[in-house]
Structures are given as structure tokens and as C-alpha cells.
Amino acid sequence: MIQVILRKKLSYCVLAFFLFAIICVWKERKKVGYYESLKLETEGFQVVSNQEKLLVGSGPQSSVGTQDLHTGNPALSSTKSSVKTKPPPSFQVWNKESSSRNLPSRLQSIRKNYLNMNKYKVSYKGPGPGVKLTPEALRCYLRDRVNVSMVEATDFPFNTSEWEGYLPGENFRTKAGPWGRCAVVSSAGSLKSSQLGQEIDDHDAVLRFNAAPTANFQQDVGTKTTIRLVNSQLVTTAGRFLKDSFYNEGIMIMWDPAIYHSDIPKWYKHPDYNFSSNYKSYRRLHPEQPFYILRPQMPWELWDILQEISPEKIQPNPPSSGMLGIMIMMTLCDQVDVYEFLPSKRKTDVCYYFQKFFDSACTMGAYHPLLFEKNMVKHLNVGTDEDIYLHGKATLLGLKNLHC
């Protein structure tokens, strides 16, 4: 009798133990699953609602090379081995040596298609690929070879009667900067619940992109907008461009992709989007707000450097708005804090912090050479991996006070 009771008790104990063990294993798997799903999905700067570009966005980043991109991941191995080890001393962040091999096969073939298509007739003749530069040398390169300036009223055909009075009278450099600490705020979904708003607003100037709002998201992205960089597609086709009031704050800059190294007259004959009419309408509605047009040569000047330092051929399409915005701020500021361009630990299912649905274009960039842009930003980062991991923050030095 006693033996039977004992045996029963023992079997209950064994059962309870197994249950406990199963729960433990399940929890660990969930943790590992979280890290594995922390893919480099933060295509935070992908052009909003650009059909052509969205078309080639990826689905869920099923096989983005977690292994290669997150090499030596102590967080992952410690969760596997023992629950009670101390927090890892280093952080799982973007690997600046990432290459197209790290892309899922679908994105690899899209990259190849773009290489073959060569829509912008790129004929790169410079050094590389794979030229190794120190961060210092790269900064000097950027300063000396990328001319961040705007189309001016004296540039043909903007000097004709059709354009009289439409471009801002004052030079961009007298309106913008110089500033000390600047923030570049991506539109990444992982900004959600970041609580970075106050930190972002504490900067001297803040740059935002396209249709990214601040209302209802102040806690996470702040309220200040000093510069808004918009693409020509938004200006040309977005129904709300002339209506939404958040565009009316700060300095606006529009950019439009040109054929590789076209000058202004050639580009004007073949813009990617015919922005003229909507640009003029906006200017008539808001004549006091500075609204510049980026010189079409600038994105390709930056692209040339990306190509030179990248280990392989990059997409022959212009850099992302994100990369252009970072470059603009580097010329105007002593220090640039870039938020969620290099992905943080914050996992998100939404592509943009202001969109409630998952957008399949939330990728490592199929159209833009985003992977290589991120490598460059990681190479230039003077902040810590901890800042990237916890806050999605990369810190870059401005180009004003360089000694080259």
C-alpha cells in the first residue's frame, strides 16, 4: 500500500519535472526565435509608396543570413547554454562586411536584375570595388567629392521665365546650419515604443523623411523638424502632399533621380518624375517656406564612393533618401546621430512607425544599395555597439572640421 502511494507520488514528481523541463525548453526556444527573427529588416528609409520600388521589396526576411550578419553572437549562445550567465559584454549589431551573399536568394536575383537593367545608364569608371579606406580617409573623400548643394535660380532652365520666382531666393547654406548636434530620424517601424522622442528633440536640428509624421508619435520620434527630405515621386503623385500640414514646417528639400551624372539641363528633360507642376503649386501655397531642389549630380557623387568601397557591384540605382539625408546633415553639423538606420534590438512587424500594417518592402533594400550604405554608416560610426543595439543610434562625425 505504502509502496503504491510512494510510486504514485514519485510518478507525479517525475511528471511535474518533465512539464517544468518542457516549459523551460519552450521558453528558451522562444528567446532564440526572437533573436533569429531579428533580421536586418529595417529598410527605414525606403521611399514611401513608390510602386516601382515597392514592387521589388522582399517578403518576410526568411533566410537573411543571420549567421553571417550577426557573427559571434554572445547573446544567442548564452541563452542556449545557461540561463544565469551575466549579460553579454558585446552586442549583436550590423556587420560592416555584409555582402550580397547575406541576402536571401530572391533579393540576390533582384539585385542581379537591377545590374542588368541599369535604368540610369551607370558607367562607373572609378577605382574599386573593394577599396579599403580608414574612416578618416572616407570622411575626407566624402567632403571633397560629394557636393551638397541645391539647384539655383541662375541654373538653366530654372533661369527662364517659366520658373521666375519659384526657387527660394536665399542660398541653402545661409538658411541651413551650421549646427552642432543633429539627428537623422528614419521612418523605421522599430522606432515604435523606442521612447527616443525627448533625446531626438534635444538636438540642434532634426532631419526627417517623406511622409513621416510626428503628431501622435512624439514619445518615440520627437516633435522637431528642421529639414524634411522628400522624393520627387511623393511631390508628384501623393494626393496629400499639398494638404498635409506637417510638410509646412522647417526647410524642405526634394530630390529626383537623374541619369548617371547628368547635368541640370539634361536631367530636367528626363526627370524620373515630372515634379514641376506640383512643386510650383506647393510654392504658391507656401511661398515663405524654404523648399529646395537637390542638385541631381549629388546622389551619384555619393553613389560613386559607395561603389568604390563596396566589395562587389552595387545596384546601379541612386542611394536611399536615408543615405542622402545622412550626407546632407554631415555637411551641416559637427555630429550626426542617426536613428534606426542600423537596426536595434527592437523587433517590429511594421515597416514604418506610422503604418499599422506590415509592408513587404521593409527589407535590406532591393532597389537602393541599402546593404552597402549600412556597411558605410557602420564603418563611420564613432558610437558604441551598445547604442546601436539598444537605441538604434549610430553617431557620425560632421565633415566641417576635418583636417585632410
Which residues face 291 on adjacent strands? Answer: 252
CA distance 322 to 57: 16
Tell me the closest approach of the beta carbon of residue 285 to ligand NAG, in angstroms. Answer: 17
Tell me the closest approach of the beta carbon of residue 265 to ligand NAG, in angstroms. Answer: 8
Rounded to the nearest 10 degrees, what angle do helices 135-145 and 370-380 cross at?
120
How big is the chain by its Cα radius of gyration, in Å? Answer: 24
Helix (H, G, I), strand (E, B) or coil at 404: coil
CA distance 267 to 280: 18
Tell me the closest approach of the beta carbon of residue 299 to ligand NAG, in angstroms. Answer: 14
Tell me the closest approach of the beta carbon of residue 147 to ligand NAG, in angstroms. Answer: 4
* x/- letters, 147..186, toward ligand NAG (CB under 6 A): x-x------x--xx--------------------------
Q: Which of 336, 360, 345 is nearest to 148 (CA)?
A: 336
What single-letter amino acid sits at 77? S
| Cell triple for 41 | 529588416
Q: Which residues have C-beta within 8 Å of that of residue 219, sequence separation ≥ 6?
A: 195, 197
Residue the block writes with cell 515597416: 351
Residue the block writes with cell 544599395: 369
Tell me the closest approach of the beta carbon of residue 144 to ligand NAG, in angstroms. Answer: 8
Task: Count the site residues for ligand NAG by CB under 6 A.
Answer: 10
Query: In terms of CB distance, is 277 or 360 closer to ligand NAG?
Result: 277
Tell me the closest approach of the beta carbon of residue 51 to ligand NAG, in angstroms. Answer: 19
Query: In terms of CB distance, is 107 or 294 closer to ligand NAG?
Result: 294
> Is there a contact between 404 and 335 (Cβ–Cβ < 8 Å)?
no
CA distance 23 to 100: 38
Query: In terms of CB distance, is 230 or 394 closer to ligand NAG?
Result: 230
Query: In terms of CB distance, is 140 or 350 closer to ligand NAG?
Result: 140
Question: Applying CB under 6 A, does 274 fall inside the site for ligand NAG?
Answer: yes
CA distance 258 to 262: 6
CA distance 193 to 217: 9
Contact set for ligand NAG, span 373-392 (CB under 6 A): none
- Select from 60-68, 171-179, 220-228, 271-279 the region that touches ligand NAG (CB under 6 A): 271-279
- Select from 9-17, 89-97, 268-276, 322-330 the region that touches ligand NAG (CB under 6 A): 268-276
Tell me the closest approach of the beta carbon of residue 30 to ligand NAG, in angstroms. Answer: 54
List of residues contacting ligand NAG (CB under 6 A): 147, 149, 156, 159-160, 269, 271, 274, 276-277
